[in-house]
């Protein structure tokens, strides 16, 4: 990177990539370490109930509802342009929105949780209805606290400190994992574990906000500068950004159901395990994309299009190198790894494996092209088209799978991700760069 970017940018990106790597390590370690600890403390039945009750809330803590993401971008651009008043308006407007929405969502969630038989609906019959309701309600509280935590992270990023933001996010996740493990090992049940998560998230929120106040004395939580016009300018890109995980969920979950219906259990296992192996390369691309997002926003705010162009070229070069290494590694290792992981039940199949690798490579390319667009909140058109493409892919995946087997499923995914490459090129107007 040093040949194309200035030293300060290179060092900042290096710190951010390191922080993103720390986040990946924390996520993997927490997920792996909690399994034996919770199984030992609770037993299979109660642990299974925890997995069922926490599935949706746990997923929501890895995402946001769109507003905090676009707020991060807007605040970075405003601060880089020397407009701290504009950044404060965004910060206060989103805080005001959360202060109104969070109690409403909590109340609605409580009514639903009380009205339904939670263990029966979620299949968590190993725990009592009271335990299930208390656990889910506390997990909902944790999700809502997470939205405020993301807003504080937006404040940290506003000074173009994405590495600090990533470290706080990962450390908060680590603290939650430690809290859950401690509660379980100490003899607590599901409610105690969920309460420990809430306590850990609240502690992380207060710690991050205190750190933000020391970093940026001009920025504090409040509603004084909140205004309707600012929210109206944010809601369209926020809603548009929410379409991205929806489209991704369609392309990740729906093919499993399609394969299961057309090819049965054996085909489902082969598809799921092969796709898990082939998608491992996305972690590296996501680290790079997350690391450069704030940089693109800062350069857009300062109007430095020349440096943004250089950053894009560097990102493209790194992405292509990662894709090359990824493709060669998977194609060489898969024939050995798949049988080892499945005790010979799943073997590398061709051209199915080649099509899967091609689809992931295409996803790596278009997600990298999408990053500079999303960083400046100009992603609306691309995400709408992506959702349409994802829905169309699910529609054609069924007939293709019935006729061509797993090759048809993989071909449908390849077509979807390949189609997004020209779409993101046009959305980003990259020809002008």
Instruction: Please write the tens of the pLDDT for every residue from 334-373.
Output: 888 888 767 777 777 889 999 999 999 999 999 999 999 9
Count of CB atoms situated within 10 Å of the CB of 430: 15
- The pLDDT, as a whole number, for residue 61 is 54
Count of CB atoms situated within 10 Å of the CB of 188: 17
Distance CA 93, CA 226 (A): 4
Phi, psi values for residue 128, rounded to 5°: -75, 160
Given a contact cutoff of 8 angstroms between Cβ atoms, the answer to whether 85 and 225 are in contact is yes
Phi, psi values for residue 172, rounded to 5°: -65, -40
- The pLDDT, as a whole number, for residue 278 is 87
Q: What is the DSSP string of 51-92?
A: HHHHHHHHHHTTS--SHHHHHHHHHHHHHHTT-HHHHHHHHH
Sign of the four-CA dihedral 332, 337, 340, 343: negative
- The pLDDT, as a whole number, for residue 123 is 64
**For the chain, which residues score pLDDT lower than 70?**
1-4, 56, 58-65, 121-124, 341, 430-433
- The pLDDT, as a whole number, for residue 58 is 63
Given a contact cutoff of 8 angstroms between Cβ atoms, the answer to whether 293 and 153 are in contact is no
Given a contact cutoff of 8 angstroms between Cβ atoms, the answer to whether 270 and 262 are in contact is no
- The pLDDT, as a whole number, for residue 4 is 61
Q: Which residue from 282, 285, 286, 296 is spatially nearest to 377, judged by alpha carbons?
A: 296
- Classified as helix, coil or strand, 31 is helix
Given a contact cutoff of 8 angstroms between Cβ atoms, the answer to whether 291 and 20 are in contact is yes
pTM, whole model, 2 decimals? 0.82
Residue 242 CA: distances (Å) to CA of 64, 324, 412: 8, 30, 23
- The pLDDT, as a whole number, for residue 120 is 72
- The pLDDT, as a whole number, for residue 432 is 45
Given a contact cutoff of 8 angstroms between Cβ atoms, the answer to whether 93 and 222 are in contact is no
Q: What is the mean pLDDT of the chain?
A: 88
- The pLDDT, as a whole number, for residue 2 is 42
3-state helix, strand, coil in the chain (%, to 5): 85, 0, 15
């Amino acid at each position: 990177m040093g040949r194309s970017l200035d030293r300060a940018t290179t060092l900042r990106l290096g710190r951010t990539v390191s922080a993103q790597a720390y986040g990946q390590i924390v996520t993997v370690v927490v997920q792996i370490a909690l399994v034996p600890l919770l199984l030992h403390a609770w037993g299979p039945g109660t642990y299974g109930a925890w997995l069922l009750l926490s599935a949706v809330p746990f997923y929501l803590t890895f995402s946001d509802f769109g507003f905090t993401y676009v707020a991060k971008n807007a605040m970075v651009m405003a601060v880089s342009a020397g407009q701290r008043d504009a950044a404060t308006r965004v910060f206060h407007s989103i805080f005001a929105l959360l202060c109104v929405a969070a109690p409403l969502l909590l109340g609605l969630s409580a009514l639903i949780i009380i009205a339904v038989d939670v263990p029966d609906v979620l299949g968590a019959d190993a725990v009592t209805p009271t335990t299930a309701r208390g656990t889910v309600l506390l997990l909902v509280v944790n999700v809502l606290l997470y939205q405020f935590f993301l807003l504080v992270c937006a404040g940290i990023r506003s000074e173009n400190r994405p590495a600090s933001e990533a470290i706080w996010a990962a450390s908060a996740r680590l603290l939650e994992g430690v809290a859950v493990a401690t509660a379980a090992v100490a003899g607590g049940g599901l409610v105690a574990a969920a309460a420990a998560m809430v306590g850990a998230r609240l502690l992380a929120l207060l710690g991050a906000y205190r750190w933000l106040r020391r970093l940026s004395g001009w920025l504090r939580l409040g509603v004084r500068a909140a205004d309707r016009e600012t929210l109206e300018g944010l809601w369209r890109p926020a809603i548009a950004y929410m379409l991205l995980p929806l489209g991704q969920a369609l392309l990740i979950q729906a093919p499993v159901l399609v394969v299961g219906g057309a090819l049965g259990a054996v085909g489902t296992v082969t598809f799921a395990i092969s796709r898990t192996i082939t998608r491992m390369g996305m972690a590296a691309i996501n680290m790079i994309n997350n690391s450069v997002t704030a940089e693109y926003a800062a350069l857009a705010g300062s109007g430095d299009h020349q440096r943004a162009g250089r950053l894009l070229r560097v990102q493209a070069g790194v992405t292509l190198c990662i894709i090359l290494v990824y493709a060669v590694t998977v194609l060489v290792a898969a024939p050995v790894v798949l049988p080892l992981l499945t005790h010979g039940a799943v073997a590398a199949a061709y051209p199915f494996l080649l099509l899967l690798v091609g689809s992931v490579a295409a996803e790596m390319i278009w997600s990298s092209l999408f990053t500079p667009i999303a960083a400046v909140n100009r992603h609306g058109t691309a995400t709408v088209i992506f959702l349409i493409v994802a829905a169309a892919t699910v529609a054609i995946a069924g007939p293709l799978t019935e006729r061509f087997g797993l090759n048809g499923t993989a071909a449908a995914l390849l077509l979807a991700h390949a189609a997004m490459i020209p779409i993101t090129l046009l959305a980003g107007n990259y020809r002008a760069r």
